[in-house]
Amino acid sequence: MSRFTAPIAEQIWDMKYRFKGADGTPKDVTVEDTWRRIARDLAQVESKADVWEDKFFNALEDFKYLPAGRITAGAGTARRVTLFNCFVMGTVPDSMSGIFDMLKEAALTMQQGGGIGYDFSTIRPRGADVLGVSADASGPLSFMDVWDAMCRTIMSAGSRRGAMMATMRCDHPDVEDFIAAKSDPARLRMFNMSVLVTDPFMEAVKADGSWDLVFGDKVYKTVQARDLWNKIMQATYDYAEPGVIFIDRINAANNLNYCETIAATNPCGEQPLPPYGACLLGSINLARLVAQPFEDDAHLDQDAMSELVATAVRMMDNVVDVSNFPLPEQAAEAQNKRRIGLGVTGLADALLMVGLRYGSDEAAAQTEAWLKAIARASYLASVELAKEKGAFPLFDAEKFLASGTMQQMDDDVREAIRAHGIRNALLTSIAPTGTISLYAGNVSSGIEPVFAYAYTRKVLQKDGSRTEEEVVDYAVQMWRELKGDAPLPDYFVNAQTLSPADHVKMQAAAQKWIDSSISKTINCPEDISFDAFKDVYMQAWDTGCKGCTTYRPNDVTGSVLSVSSEKSDKAPADSPDQVSEGGEIVYMSDPLDRPAELEGNTYKVKWPDSEHALYITINDIVLNGHRRPFEVFINSKNMEHFAWTVALTRMVSAVFRRGGDVSFVVEELKAVFDPRGGAWMQGKYIPSILAAIGGVIERHMIATGFIAGEGMGLKADPQAKVVGLDAPRGKSCPSCGQFDMRMVEGCMTCGSCGHSKCSG
């Protein structure tokens, strides 16, 4: 009998976590083999390895404890990968050689599968003097472009590209450019971005005071704090980035504030880490711990939870000793502090099973109580480990107990730490669990609400056909099994029906007993007003959150996945043979015929290190009094370019001749990267020669008035909307192609295959 409760769970296991040989032959025949592989590997450092292997297996069995994907896929495989999810890299020196040393370290880390975070606040602002060179600094964003191109070339372990977080202080002179960076959809695609917001800045925002932008001892500019805050809010309202990290609050609450300063986080924000900091992740599956679900006496089994937490803490502590590390500095940092990030998943399902509405005051109080119990159990388990194996090397009892988090801990826990020390400096974190939640039977993810009670998923079969299967939330499936066709109670709510205030309430309730941070998305309706949107962030600040990430569906960020199976009875707005309101954009069923003469321009592109230049000719046609691109020709004496330039010109010209707003071609070309590296052209990093061609086409479209300015073309093909009459839906998954992408825990995640932009 299969341990999997849903077909999607077994498929995720097979795709993501099942150990297979180089030829694809499964080494893990069953999921029990996977659990045994992990348990045996993590027990190898124990003096009684056989005993602990069985205990670890029991914790993994039936998906009660879910190690993060890196551990589940990598432990016991003998593959040279890191089992750690999260890294923050070393402080970036303000020198060219130091910056590129950091770039190399980032590449080595992502090559082994780690997601990384960087604080770019240490690089001098654009236009600052560069001593001894007689030049002006290009600024941190120019170097972020280099990091972005590098990340595109590194494939993380487990066929997942590396993910990166970039942070910048709210008082850096280039912070306004940082805030606006994602307004260009082709730029910095591999980064998540967050502004480090300080306590004095928030006080200045509330008081409508002035704010200095400073580097070193020099004030470069003074702005109104509220104006800068509004720029952050407008950017995330429009583009879902940057996020906001309340960095002073993080440092004040850090158990290790006596020996480290934090200025960056991992890609999803739940792990604030010091330079070379590393953390591993795992989750207690609360949905598996509810006794008598949906009955009057439904409750979380506290004894079972405490026992499970203690075993999980021991397993995670052992990961520190068995894992590889990309860099020796990361290994030393992990050994000195032994940070772990134990969190939860299935919270929303567990709340449903005990009859509570996610977002209600009662649910928030219950969440706080459960997470306090987990925190207590984690810290006491770590004390027991310290008795047996010793405290973490940098432990200082008085300084540790005086930290922000520890001051609120119960007296018995504090006294146990004072007497015996503690094995792990930090223990709790709420990580993204999108994929492992699917693997566990589609339990609700992390502390997020249920996204959808059920949806239909198309599955590609070996013969090329597609079949449909229903994917049902774990709690809903359990309700069906226990209650039959009885209607769901009114306390069943989902991410689309909750108010942003309810989301923030739940994040704040969870944060109180989490010593690191939380990966959570505050879903906002598309029509939320800008003022109400700003209130969400102020509520997060006022209620003690360490950061805030929102998602408002729109034309830029993408629509929320439609969970309805009904077909729309309305034709799409941009149907064939339609002329737009302005009259200049024409959509045609058949391509345009070429007139005998066309007006055009020719542009020269000299790619560095290339012997011959490219000459790009763009010809236009005039329709309704407006000039629009019609065809492209590319010529070069370099015969290596011949085949691909001919293919490119034929394809682009074919697109141009069909009509419509073809500016999306520019964005597609600008996003192409060359794994051998790009080049600097006219003070800007261009990731490939194809991106350079896209830039030329864009400049031509601007000059002819087809688009208004750089980065202002369409981000996607508008004709894609004409292909079917389905209800609006989100972006397609780059891994499986399904229209099942949703923002969960601060990261775009596919509900069909578990693909995530973020590393984890």
What phi, psi does 628 have (nearest 5°)? -145, 150
Q: Which of 375, 403, 420 is the last residue of a domain?
A: 420
On whether both 636 and 697 belong to a single domain, the answer is yes
* Residue 752 included in any domain: no
- Between the CA of residue 184 and those of 5, 415, 559, 671, 705, what are the distances in Å? 43, 54, 19, 11, 19
Residues with Cβ < 8 Å from 484, sequence gap 6 or more?
A: none
Dihedral sign from CA coordinates of 406, 407, 408, 412: positive
For position 743, what pLDDT does the model report?
A: 77
Phi, psi of 468 (to 5 degrees): -110, 140
Q: Strand 218-224 and strand 243-246: pairing?
A: unpaired
Query: Which residue is it, tokens 């649910």?
Result: 363
Question: Can you give the pLDDT at residue 590?
Answer: 45
pLDDT tens, 440-453? 999 999 999 998 89
As annotated, the active-site residues are 266, 268, 270
Determine the pLDDT at residue 717. Answer: 65
**pLDDT, tens digit, 9 for 90 and up, residues 183-221:** 887 788 889 999 999 999 999 999 999 999 999 999 999
* 150 and 181 inside one domain: yes
Q: Is the pLDDT of residue 438 over 50?
A: yes
**Residue 670 included in any domain:** yes
Same domain? For 346 and 295 the reply is yes
Q: Are 711 and 184 in contact (CB under 8 A)?
A: yes
**Which pLDDT score, from 0 to 100, does residue 494 have?**
87
pLDDT of residue 563: 47
- Cβ–Cβ < 8 Å for 364, 308: no
pLDDT at 597 over 60: yes
Q: Are residue 61 and residue 179 in the same domain, yes or no?
A: no
Band of pLDDT at residue 624, cut at 50, 70 and 90 = low
**Judgement on whether residues 129 and 232 belong to the same structural domain of the protein:** yes
Q: 522-538: per-residue pLDDT in tens?
A: 999 999 999 999 999 99
More confident residue, 475 or 646: 475
**Same structural domain, 32 and 151:** no
Assess if residue 579 is contained within a domain.
no
Stronger pLDDT, 518 or 756, i.e. the higher one:
518
Domain shared by 74 and 202, yes or no: no
Task: Say what the pLDDT of residue 569 is.
Answer: 34
Mean pLDDT in residue range 615-630: 84
3-class SS at 127? coil
Is 574 inside a domain boundary?
no
301 burial type by CB count under 10 A (0-12 exposed, 13-18 middle, 19+ buried): middle
Asked if 509 contacts 368 with a C-beta cutoff of 8 angstroms, the reply is yes
Last residue of a domain, one of 242, 266, 291: 242
**Ranges 102-116, 604-618, 729-743: which has the least confidence:** 729-743
419 or 583, which is more confident? 419
Residue 360, φ and ψ in degrees, nearest 5: -80, 165
Computed on alpha carbons and rounded to an integer, the radius of gyration of the chain in Å comes to: 27
Average pLDDT, the chain: 87
282 and 399 share one domain? yes
Task: Examine the domain organization and report whether 74 and 18 are in the same domain.
Answer: yes
Q: Is residue 259 part of a domain?
A: no
The count of structural domains within the chain is 3
Asked if residue 131 has pLDDT above 90, the reply is no
**Helix 361-389 vs helix 500-511: angle between axes, to the nearest 10 degrees?**
30
**Range 37-64 average pLDDT:** 97
Q: Are residues 65 and 115 in the same domain?
A: no
Burial class (CB in 10 A: 0-12, 13-18, 19+), 465: exposed
Last residue of a domain, one of 368, 403, 420: 420
Same domain, 71 and 128: no
Least confident piece of the model among 547-551, 581-585, 666-670, 756-760: 581-585
Digit-coded pLDDT (tens) for 694-745: 999 999 999 888 888 887 777 766 655 443 334 445 566 666 656 677 777 7
350-354 average pLDDT score: 98
Beta strands in 335-482 (DSSP E): 340-345, 454-460, 466-472
Confidence (pLDDT) at 58: 98
* pLDDT tens per residue, range 570-595: 333 333 333 332 333 434 434 556 77
- Whether 738 maps to a domain, the answer reads no
pLDDT in tens, 640-671: 777 888 888 888 988 888 777 788 888 888 88
pLDDT digits (tens, 9 = 90+) for 218-274: 999 999 999 999 999 999 999 889 999 999 999 999 999 999 999 999 989 899 999
Q: Is residue 11 part of a domain?
A: yes
Q: Are residues 43 and 103 in the same domain?
A: no
d(CA 675, CA 84): 26
Q: Which domain holds residue 619?
A: 599-722
| Percentage above 70 pLDDT, the chain | 88
| Residue 121 forms part of a structural domain | yes
